[in-house]
Structure 1
Amino acid sequence: MELLAVFLRVSALLLCWSAVVCSELPVPENVTIQTLNMNYVLKWDWDAAQAPDVARGVTFTAQYLAMFKKKLKKTKSKQDWKTLCESTPEHICDFSSVQLHYLGVWLLRLRAQSGHMVSPWVEKEFCPDRDAVIGPPSVVNVTPVKGLLQVAITDPLTFTNSSMKEHLPNMYYFIEYWKKSSSTQKPNNLTSSNNLVILPELESWTWYCVRVQSKDNYYKKTSAFSPIYCIQTDGQIPYWQIVLYFLLSLGLSFLVCLIFFMCSFRAVKVVKSTFFPSVPLPSHIQEYLFDSSTSDTPRLLSTEPEMEICSDRLDLLPSDPEVTEVPEIILEVHLSPETSQQSRRTHSRHSSCDSGVYSTEGSGPRQNELGEVREEKPGRKIRADEADEGVQDVSV
């Protein structure tokens, strides 16, 4: 009996000593669960001043367990607890990936450890349906429709991008809207469980601002408001504006057509005046360009060399028997060096031909009729003294 008593005392001392050794580390402080829809994040604080010797080597372990299992006998086994964050130096542990059932009740526990020293467990009871916060609509689209505003609402999303209405079937939306220009006016509001809402009793061509929040009445959950969306309503266009727009478009079309016609007419006129001038060429130039003896094709250059004759003055006197003196006719002839020889032959040929006034038959030499004819170099003068009665026949 004495030996048994001694053994029990030693066992009690060992248990007390082990409990003291294991509880050397302080427990984490301010353990909270931050939630949004089905995102669950466990956070805590650690005061390094409570254990300065091991402050740098402290890690944390977080576990979870369904509440109903704790009430059963088999939950006394440590294997029922599932570890999520083990020996992490961070002060945060994300339980979103575990996908805890939204309507279940769970136990979350946390402890600190450093080597063989550990702190007691800190347990936290958590029910997502009761404790989790719902978020505002993920997307809100506001569009004008026939003088009103149509609000399209997208449900809050879970961690797997599914709708929160799958877990909160009674969730609805609270919509506030007001005139943008009126800051003191009390905003209008309405509630709807539909995802497509038409805001009634709005003024046409007026700016309105809209914001939406999610609500569930079972645990009185209310989300934050969504961002504010401002848009202008439309309306039916008055008939006078339609007529005015039609007249303006008609006038503008007429002005464009008129400008196009004037530019086209001006361009045609310029082309016509350039290629078909209204002032005709002189007749002697037209006769020169169109020689009927050869062809009707205009020619600008002659194939035979001709001499250029420039006359400053030419006086023709009528036939008068009383006139004894014949006025002097001065012709100025310019010959190019290349055509000098040809001009001599041409002059001899013309002198021997009939001039239309005298015939070469039965007449004397041309020199007796014309008097003296002298040919000079290019740029010099030719004098012709004619003895006939007021008739001159000058050949060059």
Structure 2
Amino acid sequence: MTLLGVLRVVVVLLCVSAGVCAALPVPQNVTLHALNMNYVLKWRWDPDMTPDSARNVTFTTQYMAMFKLKKPKNKQTWTSVCESTPERVCDFTSADLHYLGMWVLRVRAQSGRNVSSWVKTEFCPDRDAAIGPPSALSVTPVSGLLQVAMTDPLTTTNCSMKEYLPNMYYIIQYWKRSSSAEEPRNNLTTNTNLVILPDLESWTWYCVRVKSMDDYYRKASVFSPTYCAQTDGQTPHWQIVLYFLLSLVLCFLVFVALCLCIIRVVKIVKSTFFPSVPLPAHLHEYLCESGSPETPHLLSLESEPELCCDSPELLLPDPEVPDVPDVPVSKVILEIHMPPRTVEPGIRTHSRHSSCDSGVHSLEGSSQSQRQSELGEVKMEKLGKKMRTEELDEGVQDVIV
């Protein structure tokens, strides 16, 4: 085979491959939506234009710096961002395209070995990307006026867009809020981030919105959300007096409520721990007269009997009485005076039928009489010893205790 034959075969193969590669249509309406430094590439795809043999169509997007297009094709290096994706949108924000650079973006469709041609678009962020409104806006009243604080539009790394657009400025639009007709709107241009709106009425509501501007490529953002605030001013004297009276009334009501609460608590405590109603009779009897010795006695029915003793007196015999030799010399008369035992009215007496209670009281009575007799015997012994120390000639000696 000659060299000419080989070239013919190569040309035929290239033509066949080119026909296969051009089997899919290209994506339509390729556009780039850029705001600040957020870049999103979008396109349209009509499934009706897809051949029957092509199924599961996917898309691939790439980018490259524009100056590299001057190099030979075999030295051009394209970077893929979205590869074989079924979506019709690709976010180029993560590609970190420099804001002041010139870039070429391209996209194509593919299904198996069938691919479409590349659709290219040029992109310069500084020229094509729009700018957004302030990222934050606050309106506060200050001395009868309104202070507007703005935050610059931010990049994807939270940096200010003024680093790339140093001549960016703001247009502040403000007006008096009214429910009736449309109020005239005032515009204020500034390149600072803190502005005080002039010529405002006191105690009046105003609405404010701001947009960003750059004149180099005539960029203008949309307006920010509207914020409304009321201006302040000097407080009228009648309001001061009214606030003072209201505060006095409020303090008085709080004081009265506190006093009522304290009185109520005192009454509850007093009625709980110191009841005014006496105990019922059956409960009083149970506490006073317990049937078991283990039960504690809370109330005492009567006090312990007291033993009253007087100093003993020796009664000397009457000299007129004749001597009686048969009378013992050491005879002593001991008198013990016990306090009368009284029973309180209202306390019932024990009947014969209450065997348990009568037994307890008899036991208590016997113990009391036993103690009294023991005390009497002790007194007798002491008096007997004292009488033996003294010799009595005659007569009967009486000792009163």
TM-score (norm 1): 0.62
| Residue identity in the other structure for 2:240 | I
CA distance in 1 between counterparts of 2:201 and 2:167 reads 32
Instruction: Quote the Cα distance in structure 1 between the aligned partners of 2:218 and 2:35.
Output: 15
1:210, distance to aligned residue in structure 2 (A): 0.9
Aligned pairs for 1:1-396 within 5 A:
3-71=2-70, 73=71, 75-77=72-74, 80-181=77-178, 183-246=181-244, 249=247, 304=342
Note closer, same or farther for the CA distance 1:241–1:63 as it changes in structure 2 (3 Å cut).
Answer: same
Distance 2:160 2:30 in 1: 29
Report the CA distance between 1:77 and its aligned residue: 2.4
Task: Kindly state the Cα deviation for residue 156 of structure 1 after the two structures are TM-superposed.
Answer: 1.3
Find the aligned partners of 2:133 and 2:247 in 1 and give their Cα distance. 48
Letter in 2 for 1:139: A
| Whole-angstrom distance in 1 between the partners of 2:257 and 2:58 | 85
Shift of 1:14: 3.0
**Per the alignment, do residues 337 and 123 of structure 1 end up closer, same or farther by CA in structure 2, a change over 3 Å counting?**
closer
Distance 1:263 1:80 in 2: 86
**Partner amino acid for 1:95?**
F
Specify whether residues 259 and 160 from structure 1 end up closer, same or farther in structure 2 by C-alpha distance, changes over 3 A only.
Answer: closer
Residue type of the alignment partner of 2:210: V
User: Secondary structure at the residue paired with 1:124?
Assistant: strand
Per-residue deviation, 1:190: 0.5
The SS at the match of 1:130 is helix
- Tell me, in whole angstroms, the C-alpha distance in 1 between the residues paired with 2:249 and 2:103: 77
Aligned to 1:295: none
Quote how far apart the aligned CAs of 1:61 are.
1.0
Residues in 2 aligned to 1:86 and 1:254: alpha-carbon distance in whole angstroms: 77
Aligned to 1:282: none
Structure 1 residue 243, shift from structure 2 partner: 4.1
Greater alpha carbon shift after TM alignment, 12-21 vs 185-194 = 12-21
Query: Which stretch shifts more, 80-89 or 232-241?
Result: 232-241
Q: Which amino acid aligns with 1:64?
A: Y
How many Å apart are 1:63 and its aligned residue?
0.7
Report the Cα distance in structure 2 between the residues aligned to 1:305 and 1:17, rounded to whole angstroms. Answer: 137
Contact 1:22–1:116 (CA under 8 A) maintained in structure 2: yes
Shift of 1:175: 1.0
Judge conservation of contact 1:104–1:128 (CA < 8 Å) in 2. Answer: yes
Q: Which amino acid aligns with 2:25?
A: P
SS in 2 for 1:19: helix
> Structure 1 unaligned runs (5+)?
272-301, 308-335, 339-396
Q: Output the aligned Cα RMSD.
A: 3.5
CA distance 1:221–1:304, change in 2 (3 Å): same
Separation in 2 of the partners of 1:90 and 1:259?
70
* Contact 1:48 1:55 (8 Å CA) reproduced: no
Q: Distance in 1 between matches of 2:5 and 2:207?
A: 82
- CA, structure 1 residues 209+303, in 2 after alignment: closer, same or farther (shift >3 Å)? farther
Deviation at 1:52, TM superposition (A): 3.2
Alpha-carbon distance change, 206 to 12 in structure 1, aligned in 2, over 3 angstroms: same
1:313 maps to none
Deviations 1:236-292 (A, max 9, x none): 112343345445545765787799899999x99xx9xxxxxxxxxxxxxxxxxxxxx
Percent identical pairs in the alignment equals 65
Distance 2:109 2:63 in 1: 16
Query: Which letter maps to 2:58?
Result: T
8 A Cα contact 2:146 2:231, kept in partner: yes
With over 3 angstroms needed to count, the CA separation of the structure-2 counterparts of 1:27 and 1:236, relative to structure 1, is: same
Q: Name the counterpart of 1:367.
A: none
Aligned length: 279
Residue 3 of structure 1: CA displacement? 4.4
SS in structure 2 of the partner of residue 136 of structure 1: coil
Tell me which residue corresponds to 1:366. none
Distance 2:69 2:9 in 1: 32
